[in-house]
Amino acid sequence: MDDTDLQIIRELQTDGRLSNQDLADRVRLSPSPCLRRVRRLEETGLIRGYTAMVDQVAFGLPITVFVRVRLERHTAEAVNVFEEHVGLIEHIQDCYLMAGSSDYLLRIVIESLEAYEHLVRGRIHAIPGIASIESSFAFGSVKQSRTFPRPSGPR
C-alpha cells in the first residue's frame, strides 16, 4: 500500500459515493489506473464494502449504551456461545474483546430506556455464562469519525 492507495482510502472513507472520475481527480490519477487501484483494494479485502452513515437520533435510536461484560468462565465454548448470541442482537452495533477487568465492551443503540431494560432482561441476561453486566449511558457525542488516521510506522 503506497501513499496513493492511502489517499484513495481516505477519500472513500470521507465520501464513499464519489464517482471514479471525481476520485481520480482528487488523488491526481487518470480514471483507469484509479479504478484498478480501487478494485485491487477491494479484492485484497482492505476495502470491505460501502455503507451510508445514518443519523442515529433522526433514525429513532437516540440512546447509546456502552456495556462491559465479564464472563464466568473463559473456555472456548463459553466464549463461542457469548459471541454467537451477540451476533444475533441487532441493537449491539460493536463488540470488542477487551483486556482488563471486562471481557467485552458492547456499544448498543436503542430507542428508549424501557427498550434497553427489555433488551437486557430478555436477551442479554439470557446469554449463558455471563458473570456481570455494567452499563454506561452516553449523554452526548464529542467526536465520531470513520476516517482512519495515516499509519505512522513503516508500511
> Domain of 11: which CATH number?
1.10.10.10
pLDDT in tens, 52-96: 999 999 999 999 999 999 999 999 999 999 999 999 999 999 999
Q: What is d(CA 71, CA 85) in angstroms, rounded to the nearest whole number?
A: 13
* Cell numbers given for 77: 465454548
For the cut 90, the answer to whether the pLDDT of residue 152 exceeds it is no
Do 60 and 39 share a domain, yes or no?
Answer: no
Q: Please count the structural domains in the chain.
A: 2
Q: Is pLDDT of 47 > 60?
A: yes
Rounded average pLDDT over 9-14: 96
Residues 144-152 have a mean pLDDT of 88
The long-range contacts involving 91-97, CB below 8 angstroms and separated by at least 24 positions, are: 91/61, 91/119
Per residue in 45-83, is it b (16+ CB within 10 Å) or e — as a string?
Answer: eebeeeeeeeeeeeeebebbbebbbebeeeeeebbebbe
In this structure, the answer to whether residues 14 and 76 fall within a common structural domain is no
Instruction: Report pTM.
Output: 0.87
Query: Coil, strand, or helix at residue 53?
Result: coil
Q: What is the mean pLDDT of residues 131-141?
A: 96
121 lies in some domain: yes
pLDDT, residue 140, reads: 92
Whether 153 has a pLDDT exceeding 90, the answer reads: no
Average pLDDT over residues 18-36: 97
Looking at the fold, whether 105 and 75 belong to one and the same domain comes out as yes
Q: Is 107 exposed, middle or buried (0-12, 13-18, 19+ CB in 10 A)?
A: middle
pLDDT of residue 154: 65
Report, as an integer, the average pLDDT of 39-49.
97
- Considering the domain architecture, whether residues 66 and 130 belong to the same structural domain is answered as yes
Q: Which domain holds residue 8?
A: 3-43
Cα angle vertex 41, ends 11, 88, to 5°? Answer: 90
